[in-house]
């Protein structure tokens, strides 16, 4: 009986993270994990069109000395954040270009939540 309960617990522990991974995009960065709902970021299918949109809009590039990764907090001065057009989905995030990379940023904390590759 004890082995059966242990087997069920192990199976549940393996299954739950797999299901959760489908629902969220997670980036491991210094300071921990940042998770955003998959429907709040730019989807894989939308990324090429979104990158073309950003190029057409001639969004200025902001340069930072660090690598551009999820979790990086951008400075509060000198960076301009733009609304994501509705056709790319409703999102609480803004976008900008940092070191040549288009990123989604949480507006209050200025933390990068997605690098749109």
Domains of the chain, by residue range, sit at 24-116
pLDDT of the residue at 1: 56
Main-chain dihedrals φ then ψ at residue 104, nearest 5 degrees: -95, 140
In angstroms, how far is the first alpha carbon of the chain from the final one? 49
Helix, strand, coil % over all residues of the chain, rounded to 5: 30, 30, 40
Which among 29, 56, 21 is positioned nearest to 115, based on CA atoms? 29
In tens digits, the chain (117 residues) has pLDDT values of 555 554 545 455 554 444 344 333 333 334 333 445 545 789 999 999 999 999 999 999 999 998 999 999 999 888 999 999 999 988 999 999 999 999 999 999 999 999 998
Over the Cα atoms of the chain, what is R_g?
18
Residue 13's SS3 state is helix
The correct answer on CATH 3.10.450 for the domain covering 24-116 is yes
């Amino acid at each position: 009986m004890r082995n059966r309960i242990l087997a069920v617990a192990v199976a549940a522990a393996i299954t739950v993270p797999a299901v959760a991974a489908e629902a969220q995009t997670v980036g491991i960065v210094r300071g921990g994990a940042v998770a955003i709902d998959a429907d709040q970021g730019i989807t894989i299918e939308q990324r090429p069109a979104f990158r073309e949109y950003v190029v057409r809009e001639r969004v200025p590039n902001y340069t930072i000395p660090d690598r551009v990764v999820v979790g990086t907090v951008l400075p509060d001065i000198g960076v301009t954040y733009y609304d994501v057009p509705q056709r790319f989905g409703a999102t609480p995030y803004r976008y900008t270009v940092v070191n040549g990379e288009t990123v989604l940023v949480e507006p209050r904390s200025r933390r990068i939540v997605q690098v749109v590759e």
